[in-house]
């Protein structure tokens, strides 16, 4: 589209396939930074005026913010909101949809979030995270058949849902332990 972008990604497990895809993307002007240890380089690119692309529709694990996504709590990356608040960088949420054969796409932007409208606090970061997650939901609703549902977006549960009493009354246990016990008992 005529402007250089830096994107943050997780490397693909197969190193040969990963190298091929990175070369293919970088040939078109995209700069790829891998998640581990990318903060300084990403900040430097942002400060030079280079847009930063983040894939924000993945499960962020137990350390994420739990926000509503399709009516159910999902763990979302809070680092996006904190980065926007700290650096006063707007967040543009959008997606790309296949419109025909091969490589024909339609790009859409569904929300633009101005971090200066939010307090530089936990509450501000949580509100921004909920807003960008709602915008992601809006992009999925535009073409749900094209969304990669195997992301297991709701894999990590909020603390209040993870704790439940053990079947034998010994006290709370998490979902993984309960599932393991159920599996062992079924065998």
Decide if pLDDT at 137 tops 80.
yes
Q: Which pLDDT value is given to residue 169? A: 57
pLDDT band at residue 181 using 50, 70 and 90 as cut-offs: very low
Number of domains in the chain: 3
Say if residue 144 is in the same domain as residue 171.
no
Say if residue 16 is in the same domain as residue 72.
no
Residue 88 maps to a domain: yes
32-90, pLDDT tens digit by residue?
888 777 888 888 888 888 888 888 888 899 999 999 999 999 999 998 999 999 999 99
What is the overall mean pLDDT for the chain?
85
Say if residue 30 is in the same domain as residue 106.
no
Pairing of strands 52-54, 105-113: unpaired
Say if residue 168 is in the same domain as residue 143.
no
Say if residue 114 is in the same domain as residue 174.
no
Residue 157 maps to a domain: no
Higher pLDDT, 112 or 150: 112
Say if residue 72 is in the same domain as residue 129.
yes
Say if residue 176 is in the same domain as residue 142.
no
Q: CA nearest 56: which of 44, 64, 45, 48?
A: 64
Say if residue 145 is in the same domain as residue 86.
yes
User: Which residue segment(s) compose the domain that 177 sits in?
Assistant: 162-187
DSSP result, 74-85: EEE-SHHHHHHH
What is the Cβ-side half-sphere exposure of residue 168, based on CA atoms within 13 angstroms? Answer: 6
Q: Which pLDDT value is given to residue 10? A: 81
85-112, pLDDT tens digit by residue?
999 999 999 998 999 877 788 989 999 9
Residue 155 maps to a domain: no
Mean pLDDT, range 114-134, rounded to an integer: 97
Say if residue 111 is in the same domain as residue 142.
yes
Residue 59 maps to a domain: no
Q: Which pLDDT value is given to residue 1? A: 59
Mean pLDDT, range 112-129, rounded to an integer: 97
């Amino acid at each position: 589209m005529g402007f250089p972008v830096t994107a943050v990604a997780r490397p693909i497990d197969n190193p040969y396939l990963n190298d091929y895809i990175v070369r293919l993307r970088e040939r078109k002007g995209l700069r790829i930074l891998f998640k581990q240890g990318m903060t300084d380089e990403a900040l430097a690119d942002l400060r030079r005026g280079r847009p930063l692309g983040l894939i924000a529709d993945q499960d962020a694990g137990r350390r994420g913010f739990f926000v509503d996504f399709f009516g159910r709590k999902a763990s979302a990356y809070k680092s996006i909101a904190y980065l926007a608040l700290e650096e006063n960088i707007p967040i543009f949420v959008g997606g790309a949809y296949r419109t025909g054969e091969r490589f024909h796409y339609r790009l859409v932007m569904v929300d633009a979030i101005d971090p200066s409208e939010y307090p530089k606090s936990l509450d501000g970061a949580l509100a921004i995270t909920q807003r960008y997650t709602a915008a992601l939901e809006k992009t999925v609703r535009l073409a749900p058949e094209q969304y990669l549902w195997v992301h297991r977006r709701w894999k990590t549960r909020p603390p209040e849902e993870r704790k439940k009493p053990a079947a034998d009354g010994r006290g709370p246990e998490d979902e993984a332990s309960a599932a393991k016990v159920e599996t062992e008992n079924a065998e």
